[in-house]
Amino acid sequence: MKRDYKTLIGGEWLTTGQTMDVVNKYSGEVFATVPLADKELTVRAIDCAARAFTTFRKAPAHQRAKVLEKASELLLVRAEEIARTIALEAGKAWKFALNEVQRSAETFKFAAEEAKRGHGEMLPMDASRFGENRLGYFIREPIGVIGAITPFNFPLNLVAHKVAPAIAAGNTVVLKPASSTPVSAILLAEVLDEAGLPPGVFNVTIGSGATVGDTIVTHPDCRKITFTGSVAVGGEIIKKAGIKKVTLELGNNSATIIEADADLAKAAARCVVSAFANSGQVCISLQRIYVNQRVIEKFTEIFLDKVTALKVGDPLDRDCDVGPMIDARERERIDAWVKEAVAQGATIAAGGRAEGRVYLPTVLMGVTEDMKVMCLEAFGPVVSIVAYDDFAETLARVNDSDFGLQAGIYTSDINKALTAVEELNVGGVMINDTPTFRVDQMPYGGNKLSGLGREGVRFAMEEMTNIKVVVINRN
Ligand code: NAP
């Protein structure tokens, strides 16, 4: 049954003059409507957040922690309902949707804990001759209104990664979720409201990037912008934001190296999940697999067996592995990239076509580094397997990318693993794992075009606070 949602602004649940349909990405049916914000309402939300900040900035840490802890509990109480919403609006297979809710609950739990640790440091003032007889320390203070803009692929946990640390640090938030997946954000607002978050601390404005997004980015009272999404939009945001803090979590064309001494069965099993979970629409989805040519035949055989066993179809089926892509445009784009690769000499070892709204898990062989499926971010269920014989040269091939988010290496040789850590220009190296590994307390973010700054609750809190230094003169 279709549900008409309201949105939370300034502590009130509102409808607006205009609504937007939200569709089930598998069936195409409308399952919800949400209220659309215009520029005026977005400015009102920012004003509410700015007013709320005047008191919330002084809310004691134990109170902030209590609300975050309660939100974490409520997310788990409502886990099945919220997972269903994620499966419907994002097309994410049930088991991964449920994972996302459980991870979001953890993100809030970590934030509840970190809220109590927002301490500063004493400074060794007398390390300078000019600082003698002075007592110095610094504290971290909340910045103010945080403008948060999020993508469609983790409609709950990527919102949680902005909202939970913002609240933990004493900020207030105006959130613009992705237009294709706004309902999870509304459900999170319901949870935070029930958890006792004061009015105006969290506000949700749904609407296009050009109106709502642009208003948030350019408004002088949004003192920090935290954005997760594409390089193109991130680039626009950094140009428009002006003098304010900006965190950008952008894309990647993630690679894993499989050395000849790796446990091939374990590696292949992880690689399949990493390439095809959420139809490859994950910023750290596995896109390039470099396999030592001594073991490529064996690896590919195990890998393809597991790909063929994937269950594709309706994300609401409890045993579904791969659901639909977010929309027809994305499905057609990925199909065009696969066809182009084939025209340039690649061969299809699995998939290579759509089945309804699902693009089948696709494995390419015989690719070259200049094909779009290799050098751009695919953000779809397509992975390429490439043979190599020289380890050092392969590290250079992994690095030969505009991106630098995370990379993986499978080897039982500690020296090779540590060489990879030293040489790879990325924000994270996963040893005996794929680049897709993430838990929510670890620092997460990329180098080069993959972005600026880091998330992961404690690290996001650092990005969402200003340092204030205090010096007491005892001379
Ligand atoms: P997107 O098209 O860049 O959209 C992201 C958000 O930006 C959406 O809310 C979008 O609104 C909004 N937006 C669009 N134009 C804007 C503008 N001019 N000003 C302000 N906001 C604007 O990305 P997506 O397709 O949703 O997500 C896919 C991308 O996200 C991939 O590149 C992926 O790698 C990246 N991603 C990165 C991470 C990470 O942590 N590094 C995690 C997940 C995803 P509308 O929806 O209304 O257009």
Q: What is the pLDDT of residues 15-26, one digit of tens each?
A: 999 999 999 999
Q: Which of 79, 130, 85, 136 is nearest to 108 (CA)?
A: 79
* Distance of alpha carbon 437 from the chain centroid: 12
Q: Is residue 330 part of a domain?
A: yes
Q: Is the beta carbon of 47 within 6 A of some atom in ligand 1?
A: no
How much distance in Å is there from the Cα of 305 to the middle of ligand 1? 34
Q: How far apart are CA 78 and CA 112, in angstroms?
A: 19
Out of 283, 330, 403, 439, give the residue to mutate to test ligand 1, the one with the largest number of ligand atoms within 8 Å of its CB: 283
* Residues 246 and 295 both lie in one domain: no
How much distance in Å is there from the Cα of 439 to the middle of ligand 1? 21
The dihedral over CA atoms of 312, 318, 321, 322, expressed in degrees to the nearest 10, equals: 50
* Residues 276 and 366 both lie in one domain: yes
Residue 425 CB coordination number (10 Å)? 16
Q: Which residues in 366-464 belong to E strands, given as ranges?
A: 382-388, 403-404, 406-410, 428-431, 447-448, 451-452
* Residues 226 and 258 both lie in one domain: no
Q: Residue 74 corresponds to which tokens in the numbers above?
A: 């409520």
pLDDT tens per residue across all 475 residues of the chain = 899 999 999 999 999 999 999 999 999 999 999 999 999 999 999 999 999 999 999 999 999 999 999 999 999 999 999 999 999 999 999 999 999 999 999 999 999 999 999 889 999 999 999 999 999 999 999 999 999 999 999 999 999 999 999 999 999 999 999 999 999 999 999 999 999 999 999 999 999 999 999 999 999 999 999 999 999 999 999 999 999 999 999 999 999 999 999 999 999 999 999 999 999 999 999 999 999 999 999 999 999 999 999 999 999 999 999 999 999 999 999 999 999 999 999 999 999 999 999 999 999 999 999 999 999 999 999 999 999 999 999 999 999 999 999 999 999 999 999 999 999 999 999 999 999 999 999 999 999 999 999 999 999 999 999 999 999 999 9
* Residues 8 and 124 both lie in one domain: yes
pTM above 0.95, yes or no: yes
The total of structural domains in the chain comes to: 2
* Residues 238 and 286 both lie in one domain: no
* Residues 140 and 190 both lie in one domain: yes
3-state secondary structure of 240: helix
Q: Is residue 190 part of a domain?
A: yes
Q: Is the beta carbon of 122 within 6 A of some atom in ligand 1?
A: no
Percent helix / strand / coil, the chain, rounded to 5: 40, 25, 35
In this prediction, residue 249 carries a pLDDT of 98
Q: Is the beta carbon of 210 within 6 A of some atom in ligand 1?
A: yes
* Residues 143 and 188 both lie in one domain: yes
How much distance in Å is there from the Cα of 233 to the middle of ligand 1? 7
In this prediction, residue 132 carries a pLDDT of 98
* Residues 264 and 173 both lie in one domain: no
Owner of token pair 């140009």: 239
User: Any alpha helices (H) in 196-322, and if so which ranges?
Assistant: 214-218, 231-240, 264-276, 296-308
Q: Residue 301 corresponds to which tokens in the numbers above?
A: 């055989």
Q: Residue 451 corresponds to which tokens in the numbers above?
A: 């972005």
Q: How far apart are CA 177 and CA 148, in angstroms?
A: 8
In this prediction, residue 118 carries a pLDDT of 86
* Residues 179 and 212 both lie in one domain: yes
Domain extent at residue 49: 3-250+450-471
**CATH number of residue 308's parent domain:** 3.40.309.10
How much distance in Å is there from the Cα of 146 to the middle of ligand 1? 17
Q: How far apart are CA 94 and CA 96, in angstroms?
A: 5
Q: Is residue 429 part of a domain?
A: yes
Non-local CB neighbours of 319 within 8 Å, separated by 6+ positions:
95, 311
Q: Is 355:314 a contact under the CB 8 Å cutoff? A: no
Owner of token pair 């993508």: 151
Q: How far apart are CA 359 and CA 382, in angstroms?
A: 9
Q: Which residues are catalytic?
A: 249, 283
Owner of token pair 């610094």: 138
Non-local CB neighbours of 130 within 8 Å, separated by 6+ positions:
none
Q: Is the beta carbon of 178 within 6 A of some atom in ligand 1?
A: yes
Q: Is 43:174 a contact under the CB 8 Å cutoff? A: no
* Residues 73 and 26 both lie in one domain: yes
Q: Is 216:222 a contact under the CB 8 Å cutoff? A: yes
Q: Residue 227 corresponds to which tokens in the numbers above?
A: 């954005």
Atom from ligand 1 closest to the CA of residue 217 = 20
Q: Is residue 445 part of a domain?
A: no
Q: How far apart are CA 168 and CA 457, in angstroms?
A: 9
Q: Which of 195, 399, 118, 331 is nearest to 339 (CA)?
A: 331
Non-local CB neighbours of 424 within 8 Å, separated by 6+ positions:
395, 398, 399, 404, 407
Sequence length of the chain is: 475
Indicate the residue type of 344: Q
The dihedral over CA atoms of 223, 157, 183, 463, expressed in degrees to the nearest 10, equals: 0
Q: Is the beta carbon of 218 within 6 A of some atom in ligand 1?
A: no
Q: How far apart are CA 326 and CA 333, in angstroms?
A: 12
Q: Is the beta carbon of 447 within 6 A of some atom in ligand 1?
A: no
How much distance in Å is there from the Cα of 238 to the middle of ligand 1? 13
In this prediction, residue 1 carries a pLDDT of 81
* Residues 262 and 138 both lie in one domain: no
Q: Is the beta carbon of 213 within 6 A of some atom in ligand 1?
A: yes
Q: How far apart are CA 53 and CA 29, in angstroms?
A: 40
Non-local CB neighbours of 34 within 8 Å, separated by 6+ positions:
5, 7, 19, 20, 22, 182, 183, 186, 206
In this prediction, residue 42 carries a pLDDT of 98
**CATH number of residue 67's parent domain:** 3.40.605.10
Phi, psi of 388 (to 5 degrees): -145, 160
Q: Residue 136 corresponds to which tokens in the numbers above?
A: 């110095």
* Residues 285 and 225 both lie in one domain: no
In this prediction, residue 151 carries a pLDDT of 98
How much distance in Å is there from the Cα of 209 to the middle of ligand 1? 9
Residue 176: its H or E element? strand 172-176
Tell me which residue has its CA closest to atom 39 in ligand 1.
249
3-state secondary structure of 238: helix
Q: Is the beta carbon of 24 within 6 A of some atom in ligand 1?
A: no
